[in-house]
Amino acid sequence: MTKVRWLAEHLEEVLGAFLLGAMACLAFANVVARYVLHLPLAFTEELEVNGLVWLTLFGTSAAFRRGRHLRMLFVQDRMPEKVRRWLNFFLSLVAVALFASLGYLGYRQLLDERFLEITSESLNAPQWIYTLCIPVGCAMVSFRILQAAINDIKGKG
């Protein structure tokens, strides 16, 4: 049970770390293939480049959970504690709105791509498989922002 709970809290970290490791191995295999075996593995580029979008959304989610995103705190540091807490709660809602609308638009794009049966350039894979990361990733990110915001308000309130 504790393991399941741990995974629920760290899911995006596990996925992101795995993905980054896999991308590095794939890219290295490509280098070896190109310079040692003289066999360019062109298709690996497509996987790596699309993996980067997945990686960005997983990592973004983890960074929101841990509060690691770059921000300018110069003004906030000079505000009273109470104002600052509610301001941060409001800003979290703004961020959720941003990611929720991006996720919805990504879902619409996915539907279009399925309808038009668009395939990727070098692997001829259905493009929507790659696009899937936007709705899925944004749902994850929105959830983590809300979770962090609620913890913040409850924890210190």
Partner 1 sequence: MGILLFAGFLLLLFLGTPIAVAIGVPAFLVIWIGQLGVPVISPNFFAGIAKFPLLAIPFFILAGFILERCGISQRIVHFANILVGRRRGGLAIVAIGVCVFFGGVSGSGPADSAAIGAILIPAMYAQGYSRSYSAALIAAAGSTAIIVPPSIALIIYGAITNTSVPALFAAGAIPGFLAGLSLLIPAIWIARKKGYGSEQAGEEEEQEGLWKAFKDAFWGILAPIIILGGLYGGIFTPTEAAVIAVFYSLLLGFVIYRSLTFATLWQILVDAAEASAIVMLIVAFAGLFSWAGSTVGILDKLAKLVIGFSGNQWVAMLLLNVIIFIGGMLIDAVSILYIFLPIFMPVIQHFGWNPIWFGVIMTLNLAVGQFTPPVAVNLYVTTQLADIRLEKTFKAVWPMVLTMLIALIIVVAFPSLSLFVPHLFGL
The site for partner 1 (CB under 8 A) is made up of 13, 16-21, 23-24, 27-28, 30-31, 45, 48-50, 52-53, 55-60, 62-64, 66, 68-76, 87-88, 91, 94-95, 97-98, 101-102, 105-106, 108-109, 130-131, 134
Give min distance, CB of 36 to partner 1, in A: 12
Q: Which is nearer to partner 1, 60 or 139 (CB)?
A: 60
Q: Using CA atoms in the order 92, 98, 100, 102, what is the torsion angle rounded to 10 degrees?
A: -150
Closest distance between partner 1 and the C-beta of residue 120, in Å? 11
User: Residue 17 is which amino acid?
Assistant: A
CA-CA distance, 46 to 54, in Å (whole number)?
13
Residue 88 CB, shortest distance to partner 1, in Å, is: 7
Q: Which is nearer to partner 1, 28 or 150 (CB)?
A: 28
Contact 40, 30 (CB under 8 A): yes
The number of CA neighbours under 13 Å toward the Cβ of 53 is 16
Name residue 34's amino acid: R
When the beta carbons of 48 and 152 are compared against partner 1, the nearer one is 48
SS3 65: helix
Q: Which is nearer to partner 1, 6 or 18 (CB)?
A: 18
Task: Give the tokens for residue 58.
Answer: 């997983």
**Minimal distance, residue 47 CB to partner 1, in Å:** 11
